[in-house]
Amino acid sequence: MNNIICSKLPDSWERAKLGKFVLQEKGKKPKNQNPTRNTTFSIPYIDIAAFEQNEIKSWTNGEGCKICKESDILMVWDGSRSGLIGKGINGALGSTLVRINFPQMYNQYAYYFLLSKYQEINTRAKGSSTPHVDPDLLWNYDFPIPPLNEQKRIVAKIEELFSELDNGINALKTAQEQLKVYRQAVLKHAFEGKLTEKWRKDNKEKTWTSENLGDLLIFLTSGSRGWAQFYSDSGDIFIRAQNLKHDRLDLDDKAYVSLPQQAEGKRTKVQLDDLLITITGANVTKTGIVNTDIGTAYVSQHVALCRPSNKINSEFLYWFLIAESAGRRQLTKFAYGAGKPGLNLNNIRSIKVNLPPLQEQLEIVMYIKKILSIEEDTLRTVNTELLRIQPLRQSILKKAFSGHLVPQDPNDEPASELLARIQAEKAIVKSPVSNRKSKAKGAKV
Domain positions in the chain are 16-144+429-435, 148-206+357-407, 209-355
Q: Are 32 and 63 in contact (CB under 8 A)?
A: yes
Q: Are 309 and 281 in contact (CB under 8 A)?
A: no
SS3 string, 133-200, reads CCHHHHCCCEEEECCHHHHHHHHHHHHHHHHHHHHHHHHHHHHHHHHHHHHHHHHHHHHCCCCCHHHH
Q: For helices 327-335 and 314-322, what crossing angle results, to 10°?
A: 60
Confidence at residue 1, expressed as pLDDT on a 0 to 100 scale: 44
Do the domains 209-355 and 16-144+429-435 match in fold? yes
Three-class secondary structure of residue 128 per DSSP = coil
**CATH code given to domain 209-355:** 3.90.220.20
Concatenating the DSSP letter of every residue in 58-78 gives -EE--TT--EE-TTSEEEE-B
Amino acid at 396: I
Confidence at residue 227, expressed as pLDDT on a 0 to 100 scale: 82
Confidence at residue 52, expressed as pLDDT on a 0 to 100 scale: 83
Amino acid at 369: K
pLDDT string in tens for the chain (445-residue length) = 444 445 689 999 999 999 888 899 999 988 899 999 999 999 999 988 888 888 899 999 988 899 999 999 999 999 999 999 999 999 999 999 999 999 889 999 999 999 999 999 999 999 878 899 999 999 999 999 999 999 999 999 999 999 999 999 999 999 999 998 999 999 999 999 999 999 888 887 778 999 999 999 999 999 887 788 888 889 999 999 999 999 999 999 999 998 877 667 788 999 999 999 999 988 999 999 999 999 999 999 999 999 999 999 999 999 999 999 999 999 999 998 766 789 999 999 999 999 999 999 999 999 999 999 988 899 899 999 999 988 899 999 999 999 999 999 999 999 999 998 888 877 665 545 544 444 444 444 3
**Distance (Å, rounded) from C-alpha 246 to C-alpha 272?**
19
Best CA proximity match to 294, nearest among 232, 231, 348, 239:
239
| C-alpha distance across the termini of the chain, in Å | 16
Best CA proximity match to 366, nearest among 186, 204, 216:
186
Amino acid at 61: N
Torsion of CA 226, 228, 234, 239, to 10 degrees: 60
Phi, psi dihedral angles at 380 (to 5 degrees): -60, -40
Class of domain 16-144+429-435: alpha beta
Give me the helices (H) in 299-414, please.
314-322, 327-335, 345-349, 358-389, 392-400
* CA dihedral for 310, 311, 315, 317, sign (positive or negative): negative
Confidence at residue 107, expressed as pLDDT on a 0 to 100 scale: 93
Class of domain 148-206+357-407: mainly alpha
What pairs with residue 44 in β-bridges? Answer: 59
Confidence at residue 435, expressed as pLDDT on a 0 to 100 scale: 46
Three-class secondary structure of residue 213 per DSSP = helix
Confidence at residue 346, expressed as pLDDT on a 0 to 100 scale: 96
Confidence at residue 241, expressed as pLDDT on a 0 to 100 scale: 94
Confidence at residue 438, expressed as pLDDT on a 0 to 100 scale: 46
Confidence at residue 223, expressed as pLDDT on a 0 to 100 scale: 86
User: Angle at Cα 418 formed by Cα 415 and Cα 423, nearest 5°?
Assistant: 125
Query: How far is the CA of 186 from the CAs of 140, 210, 326, in angstroms?
Result: 58, 21, 12
